[in-house]
Amino acid sequence: MFRLLLLVLTTAGTFACAEVAFRAHVRRRFEVKFPRDTENLVRLPAPQGFELKPNAAGTFPGGVDSTRTFAYRTNAHGLRDRDRSGKAPGTKRVLVMGDSYTFGYAVAEEEAYPQVAERLLKERGHPGIEVINAGIPDYNSRQERQLLQQLMPVYAADAVVLSYVVNDAEPSTALPTPPDETYRHANSWFLAELAEISNRHLFKRRVLDTRKDTVSGAYLDGFAEGSPKWRDSKQAIREMRDLCASARIPFVILILPDFTQDFDDRYGFRKIHEAVASWGRDLDVPVFDLLHAFRGADHQTLLVPWDGHPNAEGHRHIAEFLVARIADEPTLAAALNRKDDHTAK
């Protein structure tokens, strides 16, 4: 019994030492290897991770052909949107949260669908409704939730639209993720890494559940039963809804399809659309799936060929859909036609 107890204690002590040493090693390596910020990206604590520098200008590369680039600039709050003064009496603001699709990746600023939607509303007799582009490339749901909390009082939003894209449950890749964020679901970082190495080199496939939050191009895996990625995304959506409920403003979700896929029965991410729509129903949040609106369209004519994001025509279609929802969705229409005002800081 003594020898058995000694073996157990020695093994436990060895693993404890390995755990402490491994955590110290990966944290030290991360701090030495990666700078606090890159061009126009500023590192923030998790879960937000980073933000775009205010009043900056630069270029981003294409996702398919990185030699092709497009220019962008940011306003005083680090958004790809014009600077806005305090909200005038009678003005209503729709804050559109999202990632690179909302930001307008690979198209000009004026071609991004929030900007197009604002112009369409003005042309159709609603000059008092502003649509603010709060899309940040590579943001996921957890990051969008953090940004929403910052921006709601700044812009005195009257309504919030969350644009959900099929990779919104995945970790961000714009800057390297701190290890405390990568291993946040793992009780043991050391064992999680051992499982990861075993999957990669021994099994050549995912056999062991690592609980390590790593980026995967297989977006459907993040929505498997019990997936921590989808659980985190769901929690972030719930918190966004609650933030809006506390401010007494409507919150709606647009599900944007992957423009690199056919908009028909061959579309491969339908399960993700269904999961988000179901969660919206559970939260009593209006959800609009644009996959239905694009069904039958030729996706090749609606994307940037050297990148894969929607082109100007694709953005125009999204803007038309958003404007229609602003006009006829009851909670949005009621909020944007109210006579009360808020004043932006």
Q: What is the rounded average pLDDT for all residues in the chain? A: 93
Whole-number pLDDT of residue 71 = 97
Name the DSSP letter for residue 248: T
Q: Enumerate the β-bridge partners of residue 61.
A: 69
Question: What would the mean pLDDT of 8-25 be, rounded to a whole number?
Answer: 90
316: pLDDT strictly greater than 70: yes
Give per-residue pLDDT as tens, 204-248.
887 888 888 988 888 999 998 889 999 999 999 999 999 999 999
Give per-residue pLDDT as tens, 133-180.
999 999 999 999 999 999 999 999 999 999 999 999 999 988 888 999
Q: Which of 99-108, 120-129, 190-199, 276-285 shows the lowest per-residue confidence on average (mean pLDDT)?
A: 190-199
Tell me the whole-structure pTM to 2 decimals: 0.91
324 half-sphere exposure, CB direction, 13 A CA radius: 10
Whole-number pLDDT of residue 341 = 44
Question: What would the mean pLDDT of 184-188 be, rounded to a whole number?
Answer: 93
Give the C-alpha separation, 341 to 243, whole Å: 18
Give the C-alpha separation, 323 to 190, whole Å: 50
Domains and CATH numbers, the chain: 2-33+179-203 (no CATH), 52-175+218-336 (3.40.50.1110)
Name the DSSP letter for residue 160: E
323: pLDDT strictly greater than 50: yes
